[in-house]
Amino acid sequence: MEKLNPFKIAQEQLDNTAKLLGLDEATHAILREPMMEFHFTIPVRMDSGKVKVFRGFRVQYNNARGPCKGGIRFHPEETIDTVRALAAWMTWKTAVVNIPLGGGKGGIIVDPQKLSDREKERLCRSFMAALWKNVGPFKDVMAPDVGTTAQMMGWMMDEYCKIQGECCPGIITGKPVEMGGSLGRKEATGYGVIITIREAIKRLGLRPQECTASIMGFGNVGQSAAINFVRHLGGKVIAVSCWDHKDTTSYTYSKNHGIDPEFLASITDQYGSIDKEKAKDAGYTVENGDAWISKDTDILIPAALENAVTKENVDNINKRVKIIGEAANGPTTPEADKVLYKRGIFVVPDFLANAGGVTVSYFEQVQNTYNFYWELNDVQHMLDQKMTKAFGDVYAMHKEKKVDMRTAAYLVAVGRVVEAMKLRGWV
């Protein structure tokens, strides 16, 4: 299968929006490329005593609406184009939920499972030591993403504070709560996905307690989405798929009457791999990793990496499916998007559906600035308000312009960024 370039996909989506908005050449040109990007060579002394050199990136895509904001990924197949695409999508994500931030993203080419905790710490600190002059609470704020954890954010924050000579918790979000992290941040992305799916269910006139879902990916986001789909909507999750790091393949775990997501989470490691033998012992059916997409279900939730739904597998989607909630970034290719639209499947696009994480990261920044911290119920109530309003704005555009939800989300988000650029005098 042809290797898909996520940044080309992001640019293609923007180009379509630029035509619909009638953007002038200069505005379009600014939005098509990152504002700034950094490439790093990062030497790290390993536990063996040898020095290993890693490659890292940080892309600051657009800061017209506020400081850049975006996660740090540790992945063995990380590329600069993936980071560029994610930084672009983060720009639209912060705009669609209307928070005063821009978009950024970072990554290091590394398999974190092959590092000891001490090696991870050295890599995190070395990355921050290379980057610190170009980030900050009012420049560019980082957060955990694929392959990184709250603990890693704690190490990065500590390194930044040591270099600056003062406490600056706002440089990183998604930190441990004990270091200035926000309650509700860990589960925020998955919880936000379920809020948008709830709103889609309302618009389609469905009963949430009668809906079933199948999920791709069982890391932090997939687990939160599964748990909240059951806990808050009253529906059933019938299958989840995940990558098994022990034998480097993927499996789908299912039960016809519904899985117990909290049990599966209890036998899942920090990288989202379910213990296959324990799942079998608990009566779960174990199938190949692609089985999640063909399940007889109402809702699909791709919550892993990009390019999960493609022209090669889109026809495998069951005729019963009514909603796809994109918990991952860029999970659907443009070719597959066209097929879904023709079939009448309601897609909640990625940078709307998964904006809960960056929204609570924004709340965390606010709490860090004021050194005053909110209770979990307050955080989740404000998140619900933000996500519900964002969905409503996009849905209204979808109805007004008679376009799909992804196009509607782009029209809302890009329009807001363009307005900020005009007010700043950039164009």
Binding region for NAD(+) = 189, 220
Q: Is 247 exposed, middle or buried (0-12, 13-18, 19+ CB in 10 A)?
A: exposed
**Separation of alpha carbons 36 and 28, rounded Å:** 16
**Separation of alpha carbons 240 and 244, rounded Å:** 12
Q: How many CB atoms lie within 10 A of CB 173?
A: 30
Whole-number Cα distances in Å, 108 to 36, 53, 97, 195, 283: 17, 11, 28, 31, 38
Treating both helix axes as pointing N-terminal to C-terminal, what angle do 80-96 and 376-401 enclose, rounded to 10 degrees? Answer: 90
Question: Helix H segments across 61-116?
Answer: 80-96
Beta strands in 148-298 (DSSP E): 212-216, 236-244, 249-254, 285-288
Q: Which residues are annotated as a binding site?
A: 69, 93, 189, 220, 361
Location of structure tokens 């209204």 = 396
**Separation of alpha carbons 67 and 103, rounded Å:** 8
Type of residue numbered 394: V
Question: Helix H segments across 232-375?
Answer: 261-266, 276-281, 334-343, 350-353, 356-370
Task: List 57's β-bridge partners, or say none.
Answer: 39, 107
- Beta-sheet strand order (sheet of 51-62): 36-45, 51-62, 103-109, 68-75, 140-144
Nearest one of 91, 89, 168, 97 to 128, comparing CA atoms? 168
Location of structure tokens 């704690």 = 154
Type of residue numbered 362: Y
Type of residue numbered 356: G
Treating both helix axes as pointing N-terminal to C-terminal, what angle do 356-370 and 376-401 enclose, rounded to 10 degrees? Answer: 130
Report which DSSP code applies to 74. E
DSSP string, 125-187: HHHHHHHGGG-BTTTEEEEE-TT--HHHHHHHHHHHHHHHTS--GGGBSS--GGGTPPTTSTT
**Separation of alpha carbons 197 and 388, rounded Å:** 10
Q: Which residues are annotated as a binding site for substrate?
A: 69, 93, 361
Type of residue numbered 4: L
Catalytic (active-site) positions:
105
